[in-house]
A and B are shown apart, each in its own frame.
Chain A
Amino acid sequence: MKQTLLVKHAVGGRMFIDSDKQAVPYSVVQHGEGWKFTVSIPWSGAIEELLACKNELNVFIFQEFDDQPTLKTWYYVKDGSVEYDSDQASLTIIADSRIEYYPHLYSS
């Protein structure tokens, strides 16, 4: 199974983080009723833009399998709970809720 973390701008889809293109260690754990992402990533212009757009983020985990359809999980970041720790080179994102969906189940 291949798992990819994506963080995109919700208005039009500008990509800020794509773990498929940039090796970024990350974890996602239950945090209260939501989820907490911790991403080890160096400071960059993309992170600066991400923080500027922290109220308009789409956060995804894509899980691609050999023997079953891709599962996409989208996380809702309601109040811009997004912080960057320069000392740790670590980005934290708190998501309030999530929706899992299989794209192939929607008609095309």
Chain B
Amino acid sequence: MIKVFPAASRYSADLGWLRSHPSFSFGEYYDPNRTGFSVMRVCNDDYLAPGRGFGAHPHSDMEIVSIVLNGQIRHEDNLGNSVVSSFGEVQRMSAGSGVIHTEFNASAEEELRLLQLWFMPKERGVTPSYEASRFDTGKLHNALLPVVSDESSEQVAWIGQNMTIYLSKLEQGKQLSYAPGSKDRKLFLYIIEGQLGAHGETLAAGDTAHIEQVSDLELTAAEQAFFMLIDLP
């Protein structure tokens, strides 16, 4: 079963310094029918003006992932971390019992585009932690590259939930298949660029899909496609 949410049906906010496209309810945008999918609560495709960002604010009991698509993000927190990341890098924060942090566009000239992803944790009240990881962007080519997972490795950031985030850049006409561990798993698909065929549907940039009860997902690039696939409990 696949349910597609076209980009045009998404809420969008334009604050001047921030253009945000949330897939789920966030801030003043509240739709009781779109508050999340499985443990996923937030998927914001954000564009931040040079030098602008989110001032000091808290988080708790949420696994927060920032994937930089263009530009540079600077993260700073009360744990002592101060890190700048760009494309090919991922920031993961397990907010646990509480963390204060800031996120800003680190560039004075270039716009920042990033995916902000929040997931409910497997365990509440854990000691907060933060990690920045780097993946080989060449390995995105015609493959599903894990970048965040509870089964972490050198280029895969750890996360406190039973899930994996994959990124891929698929050439036009190429095909990939993905078999979740069981049919009970849920899959979230987000098209960053291009067009992708999935389970009989064609998705364009900004479209999302919620996929359930599928044992083998076939993905075909209708045109060059950059996308994110998340395997959720």
Contact = CB atoms under 8 A, between A and B. Distances in A.
Interface stretch (B57-65, B130-138, B139-147, B208-216): B57-65
Interface of A: 10-14, 55-56, 58, 72, 74, 76, 78-79, 96-97, 99, 101, 103, 106-108
B60 A76 contact: yes
A74 B26 CA distance: 20
A107 B102 contact: yes
Given A12-B22, A58-B58, A74-B98, 6 more contacts: A10-B59, A11-B42, A11-B62, A79-B124, A101-B100, A106-B55
Contact of B27 (A12, A56, A101): A12
Contacts of B30: 14
Interface residues of B, number: 29
Contacts of A78: 60-61, 97, 124-125
A101 B78 contact: yes
A77 to B, nearest CB: 8
Contact of A107 (B27, B60, B76, B98): B76
Contacts of B56: 72, 101, 103, 106
B97 A97 contact: yes
Contacts of B22: 12
B226 interface: no
Given A10-B60, A78-B125, A103 B41 contact: no
Contacts of A58: 58, 60
B161 to A, nearest CB: 16
A99 B78 contact: yes
B100 A74 contact: yes
Interface of B: 22, 25-30, 41-42, 53, 55-56, 58-62, 74, 76, 78, 82, 97-98, 100, 102, 104, 118, 124-125
Nearest to B104: A108
Chain B interface, >50% SS class: strand
B98 A99 contact: yes
B138 to A, nearest CB: 33
B61 to A, nearest CB: 8
Pick the 6 closest A-B CB pairs, nearest first.
A12-B26, A12-B27, A74-B58, A103-B56, A106-B56, A76-B98
Contacts of B76: 106-107
A97 B62 CA distance: 17
Nearest to B99: A99
B10 to A, nearest CB: 15
B62 A10 contact: yes
Nearest to A72: B56
Nearest to A15: B28
A101 to B, nearest CB: 5
